[in-house]
Amino acid sequence: MAGDRRVAIVGMGGSFPGGNYLDQFRQKLFAGESLIRDWDEAKAHGKNIRSQICGFITEAEMDIEAIYSTISPNYPETFIDHLGRIPDANLSTADVGSIWAMLGTQEAIKQAGWSKEETESEQTGVVMGSGSAGHSILRNAWHNFFELKQKTRLAGSHTVDRTMVYREAANVACFIKNKGVVEAIGSACATGLGNVGYAYRLIKFGIQDRIVAGGVEPTSLETFIGFDAMQVLSKGFSAGESSRPFDEDRNGFVCSFGCGIVALEEYESAKARGAKILAVIDDYYNNSDGDGNMFFPSFDGQKRLWKGLFGDKPFKADVVKVHGTSTPVGDAVELLSVVDIMGEEGYHISAPKSQFGHTLGAAGAVELISAVMMLEEQKVLPCLNSVNLDTELADYQQEQDWTGPKKSLAAYRHLISPDVISKEINTIVCLNYGFGGTNSAMTISRDI
């Protein structure tokens, strides 16, 4: 029956904060390391930028090099892949995030074991997006035209395709030559999980058999200063201590960058060909807060998200992978909504952003990959720097119409570990939220 098909994750890849490939990323995460660093590009602007730490990625760390125009200052005309993984023609239409997406897709397809014929099939799709524009390309193109008064052709003949909304999906589709769906969904910080969730539905309902899906956020000073101007970024801590979900001294998130790509396949097909199934996607649900608030998290919206995911079915997860940004209000509302649904015992909470910051449009996909790794390793990733939790009730908990838990965050200390924990893990819930009240939730489990 339509909608009854199961979906497996059979491959993963990407470019991760700190300049890490997939294997390095795994190793450092489960060693409990922080991938956040001081960012010289931000420091170069002195006090004009409040926050100066980031989970950034340099081009050299991904073995690529920008080739700058000789007639338009600071314009990256194209890139060189020093490992020869991507043809020059594909590099010429890509910004750095699209290059990450192509590399991550290549890695995920290789792990999935798809043949050339399967990859190029009408039953193979591409669904991936990002949270922002191709700023590194746009910055120089517009500067050259508006400030330096140069001709439009000096803005670069590939400005459009290197900066358009669905540039990652388009570049990946041209790279792998698939003949199925090619789409991009943008939903702020829920983008990564939203694209994977949409891809899951396309397979579940029989529209595609295989999809590479995920989220991207290319290293960009424009994105960084935009959030810095909002005064929502962490400050006052060393790089490794700056991302601190649920800690009482949290004062903002760490702006980071990265790319996460997963290869999804209809379960029976993957099983029949002997593919290694990394995880099974059990369900996905997304909704809107509906309260008209662009930024403030909604306890009601998050409760309805859980309701949509599980309905009236009894359910217990071993781990809840939270959005956990380190913002004062966001963390509190999220923890209280988790406890309201899951209770106070029997599971752990993991906040991967504590290790690598908030990768924005890539967050949901990068964190889904970290959740799959938790299933594989049978270990819970930590909430680094979660030293002391709030001992006082939040203001909204004291309002007459509050229907959620009436204990302070400190009462749930036992659910949140600053260290890696080994335990049996069969099921994980992944949560991500974004500006405009968009919420996404996915459950994944081991294939047992």
**H helical segments located in 183-324:** 191-204, 221-229, 267-272, 299-310
Angle subtended at Cα 41 by Cα 261 and Cα 141, rounded to the nearest 5 degrees: 75
Distances (CA, A) of 9 to 162, 182, 251, 263, 338: 29, 19, 35, 6, 25
Q: Which amino acid is at 172?
A: V
Q: What is the mean pLDDT of residues 272-282?
A: 98
- CA nearest neighbour of 429 among 350, 325, 329, 352: 350
Instruction: Give the Cα separation of 82 and 380 in Å (integer).
Output: 36
- CA nearest neighbour of 58 among 22, 16, 106: 16
Instruction: Give the Cα separation of 210 and 113 in Å (integer).
Output: 12
The model's confidence at residue 144, banded by pLDDT at 50, 70 and 90, is confident
pLDDT for 142 equals 84
Residue 388 pLDDT > 80: yes
Which residue bears the tokens 């730490």?
Answer: 53
Instruction: Give the Cα separation of 268 and 139 in Å (integer).
Output: 47
Instruction: Give the Cα separation of 56 and 362 in Å (integer).
Output: 13
Q: What is the mean pLDDT of residues 27-42?
A: 98
On the CB side of 205, CA atoms within 13 Å amount to 7
Q: Is the backbone of residue 326 left (phi > 0), alpha (psi -120 to 50) or beta?
A: left
Q: Which amino acid is at 141?
A: A
Q: What pTM does this model have?
A: 0.97
- CA nearest neighbour of 155 among 174, 142, 164, 172: 142
Higher pLDDT, 412 or 448: 412
- What percentage of the chain has pLDDT greater than the value 90? 89
Distances (CA, A) of 110 to 196, 257, 398: 18, 24, 53
pLDDT in tens, 214-251: 999 999 999 999 999 999 999 999 999 999 999 999 99
Residue 170 pLDDT > 60: yes
Domains in the chain with CATH codes: 7-279 (3.40.47.10), 284-399+408-445 (3.40.47.10)
The helix (run of H) or strand (run of E) holding residue 89 is helix 88-91
pLDDT in tens, 122-138: 999 999 999 998 888 88
pLDDT for 2 equals 65
- What percentage of the chain has pLDDT greater than the value 70? 100
Q: Residue 60 has which token pair?
A: 């050299």
- CA nearest neighbour of 51 among 60, 61, 41, 59: 41
The model's confidence at residue 75, banded by pLDDT at 50, 70 and 90, is confident
b/e burial code for range 211-239 (CB count within 10 A of at least 16 → b): bbbbbbbbbbbebbbebbeeebbbeebeb
pLDDT in tens, 416-446: 999 999 999 999 999 999 999 999 999 999 9
pLDDT for 150 equals 84
The helix (run of H) or strand (run of E) holding residue 74 is none
- CA nearest neighbour of 173 among 98, 253, 107, 238: 98
Among 25-39, 152-166, 209-223, 422-436, whose mean pLDDT is lowest?
A: 152-166
Q: Which amino acid is at 210?
A: R
Residue 84 pLDDT > 90: yes
pLDDT for 1 equals 46
Contact status, residue 261 vs residue 111, Cβ threshold 8 Å: no
Residue 46 pLDDT > 90: yes
Q: Which amino acid is at 193?
A: L
Q: How many CB atoms lie within 10 A of CB 312?
A: 6
Contact status, residue 322 vs residue 431, Cβ threshold 8 Å: yes
pLDDT for 390 equals 96
Distance of CA 79 to the CA centre of its chain: 24
The residues with which 54 forms a beta bridge, in sequence order, are 37
Instruction: Give the Cα separation of 341 and 335 in Å (integer).
Output: 10
Which residue bears the tokens 């659910």?
Answer: 415
Instruction: Give the Cα separation of 66 and 57 in Å (integer).
Output: 14
Which residue bears the tokens 């002195």?
Answer: 46
On the CB side of 91, CA atoms within 13 Å amount to 17
Residue 189 pLDDT > 90: yes
